[in-house]
C-alpha cells in the first residue's frame, strides 16, 4: 500500500464526519478506537480497507450527497447568492466547489454563525417562522447596560409595526449582553436597541438551534453527523408543532 493512500486516524475520523480531530485525539488516547480490532498508537494511519471502530461500533462514511456547512461570517460579507449584484458576497468569499446557499441572513455589519447548504428541504424547515428556532447572539452597545434595558428587551420592543416576542436577555458585562431570539425580523436586535436609545457596536451570532460557533472568523466546517441528527430531530418536532397549530387555526377559522 502506498503512503499516499494512508490517512492519519484522527484525520480519518474527522473526514468521515464522525468528530473533530481534537475529539478524535481524545478518543484515541482513551483507547476507545480500534483498527482491525487492535488499539492503535497516536499518529497511526488508516488504509482504505481497514475497519475502524469507536466503542465497538464500526465507523462508516455517513456523509450524504448534501453539503451542510457552519461558517463564521466576517463583518463586511453579504449573505446573498447573487454574485453579479454584490462583490462582497458570501458565495465568492467561501469559494466552495459545489453550489450552496445560506440559510437565512446575517447583515453586513454583523459577524458569526451562518449555515450554508444545497439541501432546499432543510432550508424551508429552518426558515419557517412558526417553528420558533433559537438563535443566540452576543452584542456590545455604546453605553452601560441598565437593568431596565435588560427587562424591556426581554419583554418585547415595538419595531416594524409589531412588538418583538419575549426573549431571553442576559447581561455579560458593562457594555455586553447575550440575547436568544426565536424570530428573525429585519435587523431586529439593532432596531430593538435603537428604540431604547442604545447603539449596537458589535453583533455576533454564536448559535443556531443546536449548532454552535466553533471556527475562526472567515472559516467553515461541515456539520458532524450527530449535529445533523439532532438538527433534524429538532426540525421534525417543530414541524409537528406547526402542523398542530395549523389544524387548530383551521378549526377556529373555517
Q: Just list the catalytic residues.
A: 107
In contact, 228 and 195? CB cutoff 8 Å:
no
Q: Is the dihedral of CA 125, 126, 128, 130 positive or negative?
A: positive
- Provide the angle, in degrees to the nearest 10, between the axes of the packed helices 120-127 and 225-252: 50
Phi-psi group of 104: left, alpha or beta (phi > 0 → left; psi -120 to 50 → alpha; rest → beta): left
Can you tell me whether residue 162 is helix, strand or coil? strand
Spatial separation of the C-alpha atoms in residues 172 and 254, rounded to whole Å: 48
Amino acid at each position: 500500500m502506498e503512503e499516499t493512500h494512508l490517512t492519519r486516524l484522527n484525520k480519518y475520523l474527522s473526514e468521515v464526519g464522525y468528530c473533530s480531530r481534537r475529539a478524535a485525539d481524545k478518543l484515541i488516547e482513551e483507547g476507545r478506537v480500534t483498527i482491525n480490532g487492535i488499539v492503535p498508537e497516536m499518529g497511526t494511519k488508516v488504509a482504505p480497507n481497514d475497519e475502524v471502530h469507536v466503542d465497538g461500533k464500526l465507523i462508516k462514511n455517513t456523509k450524504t450527497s448534501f453539503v451542510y456547512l457552519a461558517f463564521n461570517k466576517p463583518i463586511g460579507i453579504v449573505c446573498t447568492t447573487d454574485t453579479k449584484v454584490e462583490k462582497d458576497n458570501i458565495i465568492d468569499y467561501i469559494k466552495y466547489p459545489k453550489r450552496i446557499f445560506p440559510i437565512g441572513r446575517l447583515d453586513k455589519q454583523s459577524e458569526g454563525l451562518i449555515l450554508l447548504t444545497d439541501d432546499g428541504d432543510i432550508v424551508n424547515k429552518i426558515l419557517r417562522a412558526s417553528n420558533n428556532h433559537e438563535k443566540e447572539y452576543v452584542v456590545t452597545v455604546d453605553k452601560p447596560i441598565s437593568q431596565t434595558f435588560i427587562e424591556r428587551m426581554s419583554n418585547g420592543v415595538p419595531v416594524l409595526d409589531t412588538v418583538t416576542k419575549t426573549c431571553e436577555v442576559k447581561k455579560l458585562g458593562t457594555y455586553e449582553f447575550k440575547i436568544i431570539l426565536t424570530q428573525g425580523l429585519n435587523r431586529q436586535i439593532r432596531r430593538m436597541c435603537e428604540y431604547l436609545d442604545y447603539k449596537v457596536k458589535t453583533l455576533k451570532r454564536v448559535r443556531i438551534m443546536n449548532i454552535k460557533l466553533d471556527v475562526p472568523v472567515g472559516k467553515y466546517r461541515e456539520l458532524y453527523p450527530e449535529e445533523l441528527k439532532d438538527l433534524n430531530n429538532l426540525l421534525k418536532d417543530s414541524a409537528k408543532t406547526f402542523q398542530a397549530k395549523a389544524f387548530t387555526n383551521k378549526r377556529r377559522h373555517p
